[in-house]
Structures are given as structure tokens and as C-alpha cells.
Structure 1
Amino acid sequence: MEHPVLIAIRRAAFTPLGWFAPGPADHAPENAKFLILIGNTGPEMFRRFARESGVATKLDAWTREAVSGLAADLGATAVYPFDTDPPWPFLSWARRGGAGHVSPLGLNIHSVYGLWHAYRAALLFPVVFDLTPPSPGSHPCETCVGRPCLSACPVGAFDGAGYDVQACAKHLAREEGQACMARGCLARHACPVGQGFAYAPAQASYHMRAFLGARQEE
């Protein structure tokens, strides 16, 4: 039977993606005895977001409100990947918590969800839970034939070593980039892992507009 805390996270439309008892080397907030990474997989969290706030609301603001309520109910505190002072090491926590591997795109790839997940917060608890550490599974990219994610981008923004953010943003702002704006990142769609969790068009378009808007504000 699943742990009650994990059940509560799922009922709130988030997915528990990894967990561990942090030590000094993990650079977690002081007094955090147990850390659970939570986020979205597939459409459930976005459906709740759209239902409660409408897509005109910024997702980060909604996330902070929704997760703070969940954290209070569970006796936890929360930190977020969009906090910039300090920038919390979510990808390092993902490695530590068995939440996946680094893909050639630089994104975290999960053995079940593929590239179709994102960390929205970390719940910090003052006690240690008796939870079996999740296994990251084998690295799916190591046996992927051809690595289609690296050749799917229309402007070659990914080369396996880095991500050309400006080339991506410029493409999205042009007429020829509207297919990417409507459907989402074609490199992510090219990955064969976790396709059943791919974002629906409304969710994909929301994220692409948010990304482009942030680049244009810089």
C-alpha cells in the first residue's frame, strides 16, 4: 500500500518524483530531514491549474499557492525551482532521489515519464519517512538508436553538449515556428520514452508561450 503522504500528493494532482533523507552535501534547507520532489506528469496538474486559475495566470504563482496549501496540510515546508535566491539544486536532488537521468537535451529523463515531467517543488519534512528509495531504472538514452531528439529541432538548437536558447526563441517568434508553438518542442516529441504522458496541445502551447514571453522580456 502506498504511503499516505504520497497518496495526498497525487490527490492534489502532483506526482511524487523522488525522495531521500538529505545530508550536508545535498545543500537542502537546514532542518530538512526528508525531501520529496513533486511535479507534473502528463496532464493532471495542468487540468487543475486551468480549472482553478485559467491559463492567463502565471503557473509559478499558482504553483506556489497550491503547493503551500498542500505543504501545510502535510506538516511540511516547500521550496521551488523558480526561486532564485538561493537557486535550489533540483537536478542534483533528482539524481539523489532516484528521479531519472540527464538526457542529451540537458533535460531530466525519467524511465517512465520520459521528458514529459517537470519539478514544481520540493516538500521538506522535519521527520524521516520509512520509504523505499525509488530506482531511476536504466538510462534509456544509452540504448536509444539514433537519438532522434538531437535531430528533430528545426533549427538545431540541441547538439548533445548544449542548448542554443536564442536560436530556439528566434524560431518560435517567426511564422515557421508556429508548429512548435502549437504542439510543443519537437525534440521532446521525438523521444520514444513516455509518449503516453505527452502534453496535450493546450498545455504545450501554454508552456511555449511562457518560454517565448520570458525570452522577449530579457
Structure 2
Amino acid sequence: MDLLTRLTDALAAYGLNLIGTTSRAAYEALVPATYGLEPLLAQTRSVIVIGNGGGAFWTGFRPYATRHADDPHPLDDYTVEVVERSLTPILASSGARYRYAYPFRFWTEPVSFMHLAQAAGLAGPSRLGIMLHPVYGPWLALRAAVLLDRDLHLPPPAAGFDPCPDCAEKPCIQACPAGAVSAGRGWDIQGCVQYRLTASQDCADACHARYQCVYGRQHRYPPDALRYHQAHSLATMRKYREDT
């Protein structure tokens, strides 16, 4: 069994079922030099991008969250635990040089995960400012990456996927109570933030625009996952407003 198959199989056991690869050159062509990979692993030749589509990842995280309810960042901690526990033995036995990267470490290890996903063809853009997958729709998240000194390649699952401009229904626009989504400007970040800070309970259970997307409806996150993410995004908005 080749290295990439072994890694992919190990991650699937934890609901990390969205895997892509990109060359270092393809990623670095999309980002400023400050987001380059040289400081993390100078020998990097390719990057494995790790995410989850649908709610399977949450199934594993749910009992962990209950046990670590008082921890400040249980989802980040769980991600590190399952990624490194499942992959480190495989990577170590392969003889490859490698390093993990995580989106929540951006301020100390600046890697653009949106551009990693773009370079890997893992998902396309959306008018909501989040990624869109042909199968999972907007119900995906990027969790981690592995920088490697090997050349690895997976076919890009969403290369060229950009359905929003041709979407006839556009239910996301009508669903947003803040009017913060439009065909012309996409997602109005400030409008969204202002509405949520003044009418937070209206969006406490889910982002209405995301929930109504025509793609991936059968893969929507479970209700407790939606509430968890909405609560954390609201806390981030409040902190942003306090700091500005």
C-alpha cells in the first residue's frame, strides 16, 4: 500500500474524509512570500491538505468536547490529537521529512489554508465567502496539512468548480435575515457582523444562508455542531468589535 493511501485510510477513521494534495510551487504561486513554506520545512515538495466533509468528524469530536468542556480550544486540541496520532507512525516509518500545519496557528505559522485548498482543487469559491464542494456543498472545513519532502498527487475533486454565478435559485440570498448576501457583492462581512451583534439569537442555530445552499444538503452538520460553530463565530465577532 502506497504512502498516500495509508495516510488517507488512517484519517478516514476520524471523519477526515476530504483529502487533497498540491505541489509547493502551485501553492506558493498563489500567496505572498510571507505565507511561503520555507520557514516550516525547507525541503517541502508537496502538501497534503486535510479536511472534513459532512458531519462524520463531529461524531468523534462530540464525546471529546463533553470531556473537555472547560478547555479553551477543544476542537483545535482534538484535531491535533487525532491527526498526529493517526499519521505520525506512518510518516515516521516512511522515512519522509514532514511537518504538520494547522489553520489555528496562522499567527505564528502563517499558511493560507484557503489557498492550499485552491491549489489542491479541493473546493471552489462561493458567494458566502466560504468554500463549496461538489458533493458536500458548504459543509466542509479545513483542519490540517502535512508538508512533505515527497512528490504526492491526488486528482483534484473540485477543479474549476464555481457554481454560484450560474445558480438559478440563489436561496442563500433570500435566507439571510441581515441581507448580507447578494449576487453582486457576495458576502457583506460588516453587514453580517453588525446584524449578529445586535440580533445574535436569530442566527444562533445556524447560518441561514449557508443552510439553504442547494449543494450538499444531505451532508449538513448536525444541529449541535451548527450551534457550536455559530457560538464561536459570534464570540470572534464580539472580540473583533472590541479590538477595533
TM-score, scaled relative to structure 1: 0.85
Paired residue type of 2:65: S
Measured after TM superposition, the shift of residue 197 of structure 1 is: 0.9
Describe the superposition over 1:20-70 as per-residue Cα deviations: whole angstroms up to 9, x where unpaired.
222253633432222111122211111211122327342123223332323
- Which of 15-24 and 4-13 deviates more? 15-24
1:168 match: 192
Measured after TM superposition, the shift of residue 108 of structure 1 is: 1.0
The reply on whether 1:42 has 2:54 as its aligned counterpart is: yes
2:13 match: 11
1:72 match: 88
- Which of 188-197 and 75-84 deviates more? 75-84
Q: CA RMSD in A?
A: 2.4
- Which of 131-140 and 34-43 deviates more? 131-140
2:33 match: none
2: distance between equivalents of 1:17 and 1:106? 21
Measured after TM superposition, the shift of residue 147 of structure 1 is: 1.9
2: distance between equivalents of 1:200 and 1:94? 24
1:33 match: 45
The reply on whether 1:203 has 2:203 as its aligned counterpart is: no
1:148 match: 171
1: distance between equivalents of 2:215 and 2:120? 20
1:119 match: 142
Partner secondary structure for residue 108 of structure 1: coil
Unmatched runs of 5 consecutive residues or more in structure 2: 31-35, 92-97
- Which of 132-141 and 109-118 deviates more? 132-141
Describe the superposition over 1:69-108 as per-residue Cα deviations: whole angstroms up to 9, x where unpaired.
2342332421111222343121111111011211111111
Paired residue type of 1:19: T
The answer (yes or no) to whether the contact 1:189–1:198 under 8 Å persists in 2 is yes
2: distance between equivalents of 1:169 and 1:206? 17
Unmatched runs of 5 consecutive residues or more in structure 1: none
Q: Structure 1 segments of 4 or more deviating over 4 A?
A: none
1:180 match: 203
1: distance between equivalents of 2:49 and 2:227? 25
2:95 match: none
The reply on whether 1:53 has 2:30 as its aligned counterpart is: no
2: distance between equivalents of 1:114 and 1:134? 16
Describe the superposition over 1:123-144 as per-residue Cα deviations: whole angstroms up to 9, x where unpaired.
2222223x44223154322431
Which of 158, 163, 171 is matched with 2:181 structurally? 158
Alignment coverage as a number of residue pairs: 215
The answer (yes or no) to whether the contact 1:71–1:123 under 8 Å persists in 2 is no
1:81 match: 103
Measured after TM superposition, the shift of residue 173 of structure 1 is: 4.8
1:106 match: 129
1: distance between equivalents of 2:212 and 2:218? 13
2: distance between equivalents of 1:157 and 1:74? 45
Between structure 1 and structure 2, the one with the greater Rg is: 2
Counterparts in 2 of 1:211 and 1:132: CA distance versus 1, 3 Å: closer
